A and B are shown apart, each in its own frame.
Chain A
Amino acid sequence: QKEVEQNSGPLSVPEGAIASLNCTYSDRVSQSFFWYRQYSGKSPELIMSIYSNGDKEDGRFTAQLNKASQYVSLLIRDSQPSDSATYLCAVAGYSTLTFGKGTMLLVSP
């Protein structure tokens, strides 16, 4: 059974701080990794994808991947109250994605 593990949180950070969200996965052959943001009562929205070891930056978001350690992370710089949401890590298998249960992020003004 493929597993994706995330700390459920909540992770609380003040406005302007860096939020760090982490994810580990069990399937060593996975090649594609994703971060989704889900606001309360809404559906998940894809915000980042990463395929190679190292960092990938998009605006205030940086995804980091370490395949040897089977570890994916998402950094949010200059966190805003509008970033308050649940962040889901997803790992691609052959036919489907496996999702973690998500980490709730709370950014206080």
Chain B
Amino acid sequence: DVKVTQSSRYLVKRTGEKVFLECVQDMDHENMFWYRQDPGLGLRLIYFSYDVKMKEKGDIPEGYSVSREKKERFSLILESASTNQTSMYLCASSEGTAYGYTFGSGTRLTVV
């Protein structure tokens, strides 16, 4: 089975901190994604990557950046955390949209 591992299950950070969320997949997938999920708003795409060092903005990239230096690892960076970035962050991996995604277990981030 594809495994997508997110480094932290719960995280509490202070406003203004730089925050790194890490995601690693073990199935050599080209495509990786970062979403945030909020009640009533559903899943919203932040960034995705279809190859090493390649990235594409999703629907809500403001306040975020990403890094993909190795195929298996896709990092989400909150440049200066704000309280409105408190959310569940979900990483996903895929070999193509025809196959769907496999999600990591999620990181619940609270910014205080």
Contacts and interface: CB of A to CB of B under 8 A. Distances in A.
B74 interface: no
B106 A43 contact: yes
Main secondary structure of the interface of A (DSSP, over half): loop
A69 interface: no
Interface residues of A, number: 22
A49 B100 contact: yes
B57 to A, nearest CB: 11
Contacts, number: 52
A51 B33 CA distance: 22
Given A42-B105, A45-B103, A95-B50, A32 B43 contact: no
Contacts of A92: 97-98, 100
B97 A97 contact: yes
B103 A96 contact: no
Contact of B97 (A42, A94, A101, A102): A94
11 contacts: A32-B100, A34-B100, A42-B105, A88-B43, A95-B31, A96-B48, A96-B97, A97-B97, A99-B42, A101-B41, A102-B42
